[in-house]
Each structure stands twice: as C-alpha cells, then as structure tokens.
Amino acid sequence: AVAFADESQAVGGYKNGDIRRWKIENQQQQGPTIRRGATIRSVVVSQDGRWIVSGDDGNRVTVWNAATHKKVREFTEYSSGVMAVDISSDCTKVVAVTFRNNPSTTDVTIRIHDITSGAQLLTPPSYDGILGVKFSPDGSRFATASETSVRIYNTHDGDILFDSGRRFSSYSALLFVSLVWSSDSQQLFVANQGKITCFDISNSSSSEWSIHEFYPSASVASNGRFIACSAGRSVSLWDCVTHKQISNIITELSDISCIALSPSGGYL
C-alpha cells in the first residue's frame, strides 16, 4: 500500500507488516518503522497530516500519530483481513471494509469509526467480496467496490444511495478494486478488468473506456484534474472530464500493486 503524507513525503505499507515514511527529496526514512506483523493491505494519511491509518491481514484497523508513529487507537472487531481503509475529509472518521466470500455468513464487512472517541458509528448493509472503499471529497458519502459491483452510501445514516448491480465479471485473482471520486463528489471512477468505469451520481448514468493493458487488478489515483491508472507494469494519465489519455505510458520493470498522487499532482 502507498499514500502521500504531504507534497514531500510518502508512506508505504509492506507485505512483512512494516509501515515506513519516506522523504522524497533525500530518499531517507523519516521516523521509526511501524511494525504490525501482518501484511498491510491499505494505508491512508489524513488531509491535515495528523493521522496514518492502516488496515492489515491481522483483522485490524490502526490509527497512528503521523509525526511520532505511536499507536493512537486500534479497532479489532473484524473477523477477517481489512482490505481497504479511508479517512473522511474532516479527519474525524475512518471507514474500513473486509473481504467476505461466503454469502451464508453474517459477518459485518463495513464499519465506520470515530477517530477521537473510538466509537463505532455505523455498520451499513454488507455484501460479499468488497475490495475497496473511499469517502467522497465532501464527506457526505462513501463508496465501496467489490469484484462485481459498486455501492454508494450516505455517511450519516448508512442508507444505500446507489447500487450498480452486477457490472463486472468476477476474478478470483483480484486483490483489490481501486476507486476515486471527482472533486465535486458527483462522479466515481472505478478501475477493474482492463477498463475504467465512471458512475455519474447526479443522473445515475455510467460510461467506461478501455485502459492500455488488460489486467484484472488495476489501481487508480486522482487529484481532481486527472486520473493516474496502473495496470500490470504500466501507468497512464487520463483527463477527468474528457476521459482522454494525456501522457505517454510509463513502464516499470515489474507489476505495480498500487499507486498514489501527491496533493498537487506533482509526484506519482
């Protein structure tokens, strides 16, 4: 997992359970290594730079002080690995999802927690195979994406505002589904199975376009103006409005697990 702490620092979460913060300019690690002991599936930094939140295969969501790397709060009421986490734009709430692949179970797979009090605020209706979650920029909604579908919920009461139904073919090899919002919170972009799908919440419509390489797992990041999308060993940039590719394809030496953009979009 990877995220930017600000325009000059990035945070990485690793398979061995470590979380490290890096200075871009001198490529030096900042502060002590955080050790979780279980694979880090997701990491995110609050917009005010105060918190780092991680989700791991040890069935935990953990809030860390971003400056000291000390543990602030831990949520352990999950029965399986935490696939994705996000922090609301007002930096007060955490949403987390776990992957449930047995429809006969009644496990809660979506939870919202209050960072300050530690209280569990919501357990919205769950469904199977959730692999990604993201708060809208205005904080009023959050979206979840599974192997096959997308849902949007009201942050305040957990009501379902939008359900795409079955939109994608299931891929058992998927490790995550990546999704980002437009800056006005009206569009949701989901990368999955060789394409990006744009769901327009204002009129319940959708459109999609193919990305440069067919690959079951893709990762997207956005700064509101453009989308960065990785698939396999390649990364491309796309205009949020026109959906046109705006750069040459960047090619890496090995498959890319996930990507992030700095707040200004200057770093990938």
Spell out the domain ranges in the chain.
Answer: 1-133, 171-267
> CATH topology of 1-133 equal to that of 171-267?
no
Average pLDDT over residues 76-82: 90
Cβ atoms of residues 9 and 23 within 8 Å: yes
A 10 A CB-CB count for 18 gives 14
CATH of domain 1-133: 2.130.10.10
Q: Among 26-30, 60-64, 150-154, 252-256, where is mean pLDDT lowest?
A: 252-256
Instruction: Indicate the pTM of the whole model.
Output: 0.91
Cα separation, 200 vs 186, whole angstroms: 6
% of residues, the chain, pLDDT over 70: 91
pLDDT confidence band for 32 (50 / 70 / 90): very high
Percentages helix, strand, coil for the chain (3-state, rounded to 5) are 0, 45, 55
Cβ atoms of residues 143 and 164 within 8 Å: no
What DSSP designation does 249 have?
P
Instruction: State residue 232's pLDDT score.
Output: 84
Half-sphere exposure of 187 (CA within 13 A, CB side): 20
In this predicted structure, the answer to whether residue 30 has a pLDDT above a threshold of 90 is yes
Instruction: State residue 174's pLDDT score.
Output: 52
Six token digits for residue 90? 């007002």
Average pLDDT over residues 186-194: 85
Convert the pLDDT of each residue in 123-153 to its tens digit: 888 777 788 999 999 999 999 988 788 999 9
pLDDT confidence band for 100 (50 / 70 / 90): low
Instruction: State residue 129's pLDDT score.
Output: 78
How are strands ordered across the β-sheet holding 93-98? 82-87, 93-98, 110-114, 120-122
CATH of domain 171-267: 2.120.10.30
Cα separation, 125 vs 152, whole angstroms: 11
What average pLDDT is seen over the chain? 88
In this predicted structure, the answer to whether residue 173 has a pLDDT above a threshold of 50 is no
What DSSP designation does 123 have?
-
Convert the pLDDT of each residue in 195-230 to its tens digit: 888 999 888 888 888 876 666 667 889 988 899 998
